[in-house]
Amino acid sequence: MSDFTPYAVSVEDMMRARDERVHAQNEILAAAASFPAPTALLSFGMNIPGAVKQTPLIRSGFLFGKERLTALLHREDYALLRTRELRRVSGDSWLCLIGAPPESVKRLAVALEDSEPLARLFDIDVLNCEGQKLSREDFFLPLRRCLLCEEAAVVCARSRAHSVEALFSRCDSLLREAFPLSASFFSALENHAALSLLDEVYAAPKPGLVDRIDSGAHADMKFEDFILSTAAITPFLREMAVTAYQSCFTLPDAARETDAALFSRLREIGKRAESEMYAATGGVNTHKGAVFTLGLLSAGAGLLYAKSGKLSAETILDEVQNLVGDTLRQELADLKAGEVGKAHGEAVLHRDGTGGVRNAAAKGFPVLRSVALPLLRQYEAEERPAEASVLNVLLHLILHVSDTNVLYRGGKDALLTLRADCRNILSHGGAFTPEGTDLLYELKETCKQRNVSPGGAADLLSAALFLHRLEKTFR
């Protein structure tokens, strides 16, 4: 099982990164002639000793520093004429051409660098339009202090007064103090996924689905299978998030991996997750759909966290749509034109024209945006009971999802009948009222008799709970 492993850069990597940054600076400086004078070029990165230059903590520090700089420049009403960000395993860089005197920008940068302990890690250079770097000495300003003592940093660096390990440890402590969530992003994501899957299976009574009461319409499954399966698959969801996160950072001058190539790697992780699921459950398919859906959402969260250091459910869904949309639309077209496969979704695609979870993923899971997430937020704001909220969201999802599990087992008539039953339950308050809850128990038994189970809606319920947890933690 792979987890986030920082890349140790070589001297050659750093030299290439410097050359790439200088080239980008020269391109922006060349463009400065087209703007009215005065202009200044600001170059920002993180000052991290040692061979590890890119981790979620370091990235969070960079994004925070970039935000602080942007806010200060806007406060001074300086125009940001051109910007460029380089995301590299050798360290991030943000270049900004500013419509302001270089001397004023330099004083602003120095004030930020000296403002707080964390800002000691900010490396901010200011160049004039000729490409000359302004120094603190030019303004008779004190040199920057060492991270570990009161001596000037340049003096300690020249004498090698402190070990790289001690300096990096101090940087790490500053970052962990400032960004405690970033230090545990991937483990928190895995925990949120597990809790969301467990909340879905625990909630009862559910129509046709396995819950803590019984196995619903699934004679081959037990509640305990889902507990075992959850423990088996969630480390792989974490791995998908790590894989997507790391794909955002390249070596200097290297092209970023294509979306199709990344999706292919994620699918390989998904296959291993399925194997572990079957091993844990003795061959029972408890979470194959959830591996696909929550796997994509985990990857989307990893991509978004790498880019912005913050998460919102809708923006994660945007990342998923951008990542897999083209590939899945082509796959669905090929499947529709080809022979019927073994999967339930493929059979339903040929019979009913419903694209199932692949079609939903290609569109960024619109039912999560329009139905499930708004309801979860509403119920939470209204302080509704947690389990009843989960059940009511499930009922609403059944109304809006062309569930391939239901279609495969009973066709369109079964789906329409189930929707009518759910609509009736919701009209009586759903799980929020005793009457609605009684009707839910009745539907649970009816679905067992009909052999109907809305497994697709259940997977989307887990997905909605997962997104809701992520955005509350990392927004």
pLDDT, tens digit, 9 for 90 and up, residues 135-156: 999 988 888 999 999 899 899 9
Nearest to 125 by CA among 58, 74, 49, 138: 138
Nearest to 60 by CA among 470, 467, 471, 474: 474
Q: Which domains does the chain have, with CATH numbers?
A: 11-144 (3.30.70.260), 184-474 (1.10.4200.10)
Residue 246, phi then psi, degrees to nearest 5 = -65, -25
3-state SS string for 186-225: HHHHHHHHHHHHHHHHHCCCCCCCCCCCCCCCCCCCCHHH
Q: Long-range contacts for 271-276 (Cβ within 8 Å, ≥24 apart)?
A: 272/236, 273/232, 273/233, 273/236, 273/237, 274/233, 276/232, 276/233, 276/236
**Tokens 């850069």, residue?**
9
pLDDT for 253 equals: 76
pLDDT for 252 equals: 81
pLDDT for 1 equals: 45
Structure tokens at 246: 């790391």
Q: What is the pTM of this model?
A: 0.90
Is the distance from CB of 109 to CB of 23 less than 8 angstroms? Answer: no
Rounded distance, CA 241 to CA 273, Å? 14
pLDDT for 5 equals: 81
pLDDT for 288 equals: 95
Q: Judging by DSSP bridges, how do beta strands 40-46 and 93-99 pair with one another?
A: antiparallel
Residues 6+ apart with CB under 8 A from 43: 21, 25, 93, 94, 95, 124, 125, 126, 127
Q: Judging by DSSP bridges, how do beta strands 79-86 and 122-127 pair with one another?
A: unpaired
pLDDT for 352 equals: 46
User: What residue ranges in 166-314 does DSSP mark as E strands?
Assistant: none
Is the distance from CB of 379 to CB of 327 less than 8 angstroms? Answer: no
pLDDT for 251 equals: 84
pLDDT beneath 50: ranges in the chain? 1-2, 340, 350-353
Is the distance from CB of 456 to CB of 289 less than 8 angstroms? Answer: yes
